[in-house]
Structure 1
Amino acid sequence: VQEATHKVVQLQQQVNQLQQLTALGYLTATLAHDLGTPLHSIAGLAKLLLEHDAWPPDVGRKLELIVQQTQRLNTVIQNVRHATRLPEPHFEAATVPELLNETLPLVEPLMQKSGVQLAVNVDENIPVLHVDRYRVQTALFNLIQNALEAMPGGGKISVSASALPHNNIVAIIIQDNGPGIPHEILARVCEPFFSTHTDEGLRGLGLAIVQDIVKIHGGKIEIKSSHGEGTEVILYFPIIETTLVAELSQNEPFLIRP
């Protein structure tokens, strides 16, 4: 039990670290764009003014100083972006049961606290995925956490997975019976920093992070929701490995059952 608890704590730390790095990456990218654009404009205008020879020497020196300082600020911005860059993905073979067994214990305390029930249904013959394990765990964690936040008074979360051989993909589905997402904002929920919450911290990064993680794997995210009818999020991952789950994990059981 102690070893299992230690492993869960380690996984939680790794997921939290990836979330924080991703959030910093979004923040610095936004700042780089919002600051970089006017800086380039200022430097460009100063260079245009320097092309005129009629300026007094002191004015010319000040214009050169403007160009130099905008270039220095741009270097600082790029250095910050480099420092907050995410590590390169580390792809490895993993089964859907493995990924869920490693992720669900992270949200189990939250589910118990909110009184939310969990149902898990994974087809037996799903091909092994070639994924960055911790990124996928982060995506699943964010989706389940979003579902929990949507149902503070309790409810049900369903996690299912199946192979779609004709499309050469695996679909992992997280569904809740919460209040759903209004149609007018559904198209924006994956935008960085878009959120209906205004009361705390950096909001609006959960689904943006999930979308980026799925894209790294060559997949896509689909969100189906109607106001008052719950939300269904589908993660599509391409099938690369042909080995079946049963061959790799010998039908590994779930640690958390409905």
Structure 2
Amino acid sequence: MPETMPGKPKPMIASRRIVAIFLAVACLAAALAFTLSYRLGLSSLDADLDQSLILTRRSIESEIERFRHLPEIAAEDARIRAALNAPAPSAIDAANRYLETVTGKSGAADLFLLDGDGTAIAASNWNTGQSFVGNNYAFRPYFRDAIATGKGRFYAIGVTTGKPGYFLSSRIGTGERTGVLAVKIDLKPLEETWKSARSATAIADRDGVIFLSGIDDWLYRPFTALDEGTLARLSEVRTYDGVDLAAARPLLDSPDRLSLPGPDNSALRGRVARIEADGWVVLSAAPTSPVLATAILWATGAALVAMAGTGFGLILHQRRQLVQLRLRQGALLEARVAERTRELAHEIDARRKTEADLRAAQETLVHTEKMAALGRMSAAIVHEMSQPLAAMEATLAAAELSTSEDRTTTRIGTARNLIRRMQRTTKHLKSFSRKEPNQLTLTDLNRVVDSALDLVAPRAKAVGVTPDFRPTNPAPMVMAGPVRLEQVCLNLLLNALDAVEHSEGGIVTIATDYGNGTARITVTDTGTGIAPDDLVRVTEPFFSTKISGEGLGLGLSISQAIVTEFGGRIDIHSDPGRGTTVSVVLPLAQSIAEVAE
């Protein structure tokens, strides 16, 4: 024991080195994967934001472009010029109604006419409580720019309506009668679209004040703090009338870093684009949390892969040591598998021989039951044969004694009919008694029932009951063995006749029909029925409810085996004291492919 003690720390030192290697490789791989994934994620996010900015800028420009020439076009109307040149009440009323109609047709928010002093003399909202008529807007840049250069454009909160809008203006008239026609465009639908899409998109004016935003917290906040001069200028022209810009908190901590606060205090990464005509800044932002989560996921995956790779290298070393042992185990296992394979081959051969013996025994039982059924009908067949023979003898004797040629011919014909009757019975017996090959053919169910009725006719006559056959038309066709199916019908008819033999007024009915891809032979009797306890056993071999002990108790068992071989089934329903119904259900010939599958 003391000799082995000094060697113990070596495995512990080795295991610590392995753990240190694992951690170092994992940390290095995680750092590289995180850095690369985060940079690629930000680059992809910026590309998406730039694409969004392009679409947003185009939508804004197209919305403004729709109304760019509306003031010039509306100014060409004679009613506008008449109201500007001679502002009589009738001319002003005509101009008001014209501007109201144009506004309704164009979709603009408002359309109004200013005289040379900046006072509104006609407006589309003349008939509302917030009418522009009579108000002076000379302080607005869109009026001053239009008077000075012929065109004006300005975004502001309306001092009359309190609603923000974008104003486009054009100078009209010449000489002393100069005025301005202005249109107000409502850009709020754009903002509502951004809000419904939960898009962090905004527009700021040239001073950096946001006036349209998909995030409510950003509205009317400057990007950075405004200086006193800018605040004074915005207050003079009443751009954001009613908003305290001096108290508004700047949106950005640093003008060089577009890191924005989201609606839930999440970090957003922003990108900007400019609309040169107005000096506006379009802002689009998106959260960086998905990029960070993806980078962490990649870092975790890289660490795991690195650790797995390191472990795989160690496993390969150990695996080489196990290869020889496994090869020896494999050789031993192959020897055992070969031995077991030989045993299974012997078992398979024995099972095939047993199955062949069982099939032969089953065919023998089927033939035995067939001959037993013939035996059960032998007395009635003898009676059926004796009557035609006796009648034929009497008829031929009378023919010899007769002197009339016509009467002799009639009696000889009667004798021939009786002989045909005997031949038909003999033919059915010979056909029924032979062994049928195991081959399925197209079989007519009506013809099968007719043949079975011919065979059972002597027994039915002895019982005193004539089976009522109700065939369906056209005849149902199935794939089966005609003789074996005839044996099934014969067994069911004999059972039905036995059931009504001692019943007064007994009725036996056999019918064929088809539907839902199946054909059916139904045998119904009004006999004593089958007790519920016996009903579950009637298809068992050698089980019989007949007190006389006739038969082997194999009829229904063999019939069920035959019908199952044809892909069908036997349904038995019995009402004790009222009768029994037995149905043979087989697939129609056109559905046999589905049954086989």
Report how far residue 238 of structure 1 moved: 0.8
Q: TM-score when scaled to structure 2?
A: 0.27
155-164 or 193-202: bigger deviation: 193-202
Structure 1 residue 110: Cα displacement: 1.0
Tell me: CA distance 1:150–1:17, structure 2 relative to 1, closer, same or farther (3 Å): farther
Match among 132, 141, 145 for residue 490 of structure 2: 141
* CA offset digits 1:93-135 (Å, max 9, x no partner): 2212211221111111111111113211122134322220100
Of residues 494, 497, 512 in structure 2, which corresponds to 1:161?
Answer: 512
Is residue 522 of structure 2 the alignment partner of residue 173 of structure 1? Answer: yes
Contact kept? 1:177, 1:230, Cα under 8 Å: yes
Give RMSD over aligned pairs. Answer: 2.1
Deviation at 1:193, TM superposition (A): 0.4
Matched, 1:208 2:557: yes
Q: Distance in 2 between matches of 1:101 and 1:236?
A: 18
- How far apart are the structure 1 equivalents of 2:532 and 2:462? 30
Q: Deviations over 1:201-229 (max 9, x none)?
A: 65211111110110111000000002101
**Distance (Å, rounded) in 1 between the aligned partners of 2:447 and 2:551:** 30
Q: 1:9 aligns with which of 426, 431, 440?
A: 426
Taking the TM superposition and a 5 Å limit, the aligned residue runs for 1:55-74 are none
Aligned to 2:269: none
Report if the CA contact (8 A) 1:130-1:241 is conserved: no
Count of matched residue positions in the alignment of Structure 1 and Structure 2: 172
Q: Distance in 2 between matches of 1:103 and 1:239?
A: 20
Q: 1:187 Cα deviation (Å)?
A: 0.6
Runs of 4+ in 1 over 6 A off after TM superposition: none
Residue 150 of structure 2 is aligned to residue 150 of structure 1: no
Q: Does 1:101 pair with 2:450?
A: yes
| Residue ranges of structure 1 left out of the alignment (5+ in a row) | 19-86, 243-258
Give distance in 2, aligned partners of 1:198 and 1:126.
38
Distance 2:590 2:423 in 1: 31
Contact residue 161 and residue 172 of structure 1 kept, 8 A: yes
Contact 2:476 2:513 in 1 (8 A): no
Q: Give, in whole Å, the separation in 2 of the partners of 1:205 and 1:117.
A: 25
Task: Output the CA distance in 2 between the equivalents of 1:187 and 1:117.
Answer: 29
Specify whether residues 201 and 107 from structure 1 end up closer, same or farther in structure 2 by C-alpha distance, changes over 3 A only: closer
Structure 2 contact 446–512 (Cα < 8 Å) conserved: no
8 Å contact kept, 1:92–1:132: yes
Matched-pair identity in %:
27
Residues 1:159 and 1:201: Cα distance change in structure 2 (over 3 Å): closer
State the partner residue of 1:220. 569
Counterpart of 2:508, as a letter, is: I
Tell me if structure 2 keeps the 8 A contact 1:223–1:232. Answer: yes
Structure 1 counterpart SS, 2:589 = coil
Paired with 1:88 and 1:172, the residues of 2 have a C-alpha distance of: 23
Using the size of structure 1 for normalisation, the TM-score is 0.61
